[in-house]
Amino acid sequence: MKIVAQRVKYAKVEVNKKIVGSIDNGLMLLVSFTQTDTEENIDYMVKKVLSLRIFDDENGIMNKSVIDTNGSILSISQFTLYGDATKGNRPSYVKALNGKEAIKLYDLFNEKLRNHIKVETGIFGAEMEVSLLNDGPVTIILEK
């Protein structure tokens, strides 16, 4: 499982020119799965995302989590995180989990996050346009 987490002032996702998810102040997550991912990976990543101390405290030090700051999460499915372009210029996606299985894990991931925080999403498998204002900029790559 791979996640690109970006600290954002705002983020939104559109499908067919309609906003289907948006947040102010929080994390925008690009989320991808591979064949070996399990619920254990999801539990680890949920805990990691919610505990990641990348928000400023009162002294301007990155010492607070998205929970501490009453932030939100915009979660976007992104199979291309498992793209491999080491051979040639056209990425191979054989390491990405197929859509039928990936959507189950993606939905479970978001459900587990929602037990703790407000979560907005895009539409799995849809052509999406994502807009955001990266705060910092702060971008962290997580992998389990």
The radius of gyration of the chain's CA atoms, rounded to the nearest angstrom, is 15
CB atoms near residue 116 (< 10 Å) = 14
Beta bridge partners of 14: 19, 129
| Cβ proximity of 32 and 80 under 8 Å | yes
79 tagged catalytic? yes
Of 33, 55, 79, 109, which is the active-site residue? 79
Measured in degrees and rounded to the nearest 5, phi and psi for residue 121 equal -140, 170
Exposure string over 63-74, b if 16+ CB within 10 A, otherwise e: ebbbeebebbbb
Of 80, 121, 124, 139, which is the active-site residue? 80
Of 6, 33, 34, 78, which is the active-site residue? 78
55 tagged catalytic? no
Which residues are catalytically annotated? 78-80
